[in-house]
Structure 1
């Protein structure tokens, strides 16, 4: 699943935030919720972004810039993809 989220992040980085939003809604995990929040952050919808950050266990008010958040998300998703399944 982490690879699918990285693919969604690639959509977001490429400016395809509508596609990213449609795709991320199909996932239910803390990482997906964080990415959903990043999508809303990119859209400028801060209220929804904060909601999704909360759902993802992230502190919205302590976030970095959009680019920093995407980079941090990518690192976390790559680490999750490398971990053996529980």
Structure 2
């Protein structure tokens, strides 16, 4: 069971995400593993704001900043302009309730 950021990061050593992860966290997990397509499939089917935030991040990774901007607006989040790693960490911390 993933209960904090450290456990979430540690879970990246596995072959699949923990089964108790919600769609936004599962998408973020697959993004960290380098499987953009799997991450995108997961979040595009979820209508929540957290999934929209991960969706925005994925399009930023892809380099499609126009599409990313749309998803940031859907998520109610400002457009990120820092490093992708910093954004990934901020999303993970927020979605996990900032537990370290």
State the Cα RMSD in Å.
1.9
| Structure showing greater relative contact order (alpha-carbon pairs closer than 8 Å, 6 or more residues apart) | 1
Unaligned runs of 5+ in 2: 1-19
1:63 Cα deviation (Å)?
Answer: 3.5
1:53 Cα deviation (Å)?
Answer: 0.5
Larger radius of gyration: 2
Give the length in aligned residue pairs.
79
1:23 Cα deviation (Å)?
Answer: 0.9
More helix by share: 1
Q: TM-score, normalised by structure 2?
A: 0.71
Superposed, which structure 2 residues align to 1:30-49 within 5 Å? Answer: 30-49=49-68
- Return the match for 1:69 from 83, 87, 95: 87
Residue aligned with 2:97, SS: helix
Q: Distance in 2 between matches of 1:63 and 1:55?
A: 17
Structure 1 runs of 4+ with >3 Å offset: none
Name 1:21's counterpart in structure 2: 40
